[in-house]
Amino acid sequence: MDAFTMVVMACVTGEAHCATRRISEMDFTTVQACEARVDDIIRSMTKEFGKRPEFKGRQVTYDVSCMDRAQLAAKFGIASSDT
């Protein structure tokens, strides 16, 4: 059974670069299991951003993807992998 990886991209209004986080857990054996964790991960990232005074009052947008190995490789242009 293939494991899924969650890729989260968070963009803060006015920042030149977005923050990314990749979460791969053995419990992500279906897209539904991966998606079930989205709220927890986003909540955690939002709390981290809230601790930074320079981000106060700024909008954060999130892009979340749950992908298996083949989808991850295709998305990021990985031709082959030993893992």
- Grade residue 78 by pLDDT with cuts at 50, 70 and 90: confident
Instruction: Please tell me which of 8-12, 38-42, 65-69, 70-74 the model is most confident about, judged by mean pLDDT.
Output: 8-12
Mean pLDDT score, 45-71: 90
- pLDDT of 81 reads 56
- Distance separating alpha carbons of residues 4 and 25, to the nearest angstrom: 8
69 compared with 63, residue with greater pLDDT: 63
Please give the backbone phi and psi of residue 81, each rounded to the nearest 5 degrees, phi first: -145, 145
**Cα dihedral 50→55→59→65 (10° resolution):** -70
- Distance separating alpha carbons of residues 13 and 55, to the nearest angstrom: 9
pLDDT tens across 9-32, in order?
Answer: 999 999 999 998 888 877 788 888
**CA angle 26–30–31, rounded 5-degree value:** 115
Beta bridge partners of 11: 61
**Total length of the chain:** 83
